[in-house]
Amino acid sequence: MNVSAAEMTKALITFDTTSRGSNLALIDFAQGLIEQAGGRCRRTHDASGAKANLFATFGPDGDGGIVLSGHTDVVPVDGQNWSSDPFDAVTRDGKLFGRGACDMKGFLGVALSLLPVIAKAKLTRPLHLALSYDEEVGCVGVTGLLDDLKREGIKPALAIIGEPTLMKIVGAHKGGAKLVTHCCGREGHSSAPEKGANAVMMAGAFVAMLESVWDELRADPDPRFDPPHSTVQATVVSGGTAVNILAKEADVTWEYRCLPDRDPQAILDRVEQRAVQDILPKYRARAAEAAFQTLIHAVYPGLRMDEDSPAVRLAREITGVNQVEAVSYGTEAGHFQSYGIPAVICGPGSIEQAHRPDEFVALTELDACAAFLRKVIAKAQT
């Protein structure tokens, strides 16, 4: 099998792996290629069995291996105005267009296109490929993969996460969580709002409170990040049944993105305290059952900066670049680090293109990534 990085990326894009669906067809495809090249594969699944992580090993068994890691899922294209079929990649003006082109099937396409190189390499330490599910909905899938490695006593020395960084070295990112706060009120006629508790109004007060918490977080910055502080914001609000009925229920979907060296629990505690002290008394005076109930739907840890980690040192050595950057978006790198596997982020394409219509990766970026990974493979032979 000798397929270019661009052609392999195109092939991966044809699999609609939007997070709400299955990724098994892509996993089957990748596993077939990997095993044909001599790799040893293991899978971990979600509870439904419709999604899977794939972890592949080349070279000797044992500790000290290098992981090349990427997620297989992509965000939806619903409501986006694409110039071409998002799942039938096309090349125009030196760019490859398609959903996931940069986030992050470009990296996976490069890695899989190098399977013939890996197969011929005389590896003295393990080289692993990790393909995960459901990164886009809160880095959900990779924890099962990492739990499996821990149970099996597989201890890689480091991981390279191929998220789009324009091949720059990223050594830190914020942690985050997706939360839903259920606002519980009491129904009544809207002509008598003080005889009930309007959950939609409660939700509005909760959203305003989140903004004030965000303002407070600005006082504790880290200039390496943009924005330089932790953030809190609501993204979806739903509730109510009719214009003349006080809403009994409403939901606020919100998130925090926390600097990796700060305590995210402190943010949750502050929000809960403000909700109970500043908002609830008004509504409980009208309805004793008024309440806020918050559930965490997904959470991922930040990646703490460690410029002396073996992952960062390897990326610096290969690229010849000393600067290590920090980003505000989340990745699976924080999970690898939390499991004791030093991690660095370096991959083709720009995060500015991710999740947008006409998402693309420049062909020159794929070439640069291929050159980078060839050097990684060479390092696994020393």
Residue range 251-308, pLDDT digits in tens: 999 999 999 999 999 999 999 999 999 999 999 999 999 999 999 999 999 999 999 9
Would you put residue 119 in left (φ > 0), alpha (ψ -120 to 50) or beta?
alpha
Q: Which of 73, 136, 255, 365 is catalytic?
A: 73
pTM, full prediction: 0.93
Do 175-300 and 5-172+302-379 have the same topology in CATH?
no
Q: Which of 135, 136, 163, 332 is catalytic?
A: 135
Residue range 68-81, pLDDT digits in tens: 999 999 999 999 99
Tell me which CATH code domain 5-172+302-379 carries. 3.40.630.10
pLDDT score recorded for residue 157: 97
Question: Counting Cβ atoms within 10 Å, is residue 65 exposed (0-12), middle (13-18) or buried (19+)?
Answer: buried
How far are the Cα atoms of 148, 173, 274, 279, 329 from residue 181, in angstroms, in the given order?
32, 25, 13, 13, 23
73 assigned to active site: yes
Residue pair 332/302 in contact (Cβ under 8 Å)? The answer is: no
Q: Give me the CATH topology for the region 175-300.
A: Alpha-Beta Plaits (3.30.70)
> Quick one: average pLDDT of 160-170?
98
> Quick one: average pLDDT of 304-328?
96
Using the predicted structure, report yes or no on whether residue 382 has a pLDDT greater than 90.
no
| Cα–Cα distance for residue pair 239/25, rounded to 1 Å | 37
262: Cα within 13 Å, side-chain hemisphere: 23
Residue range 35-94, pLDDT digits in tens: 999 999 999 999 999 999 999 999 999 899 999 999 999 999 999 999 999 999 999 999
Axis-axis angle for helices 105-113, 24-36 (nearest 10): 20
> Quick one: average pLDDT of 130-139?
96
- Residue spans per domain, the chain: 5-172+302-379, 175-300
> Quick one: average pLDDT of 26-32?
98
DSSP-derived secondary structure for 275-305: IIIIIHHHHHTT-TT-EEEEEEEEEE--B--
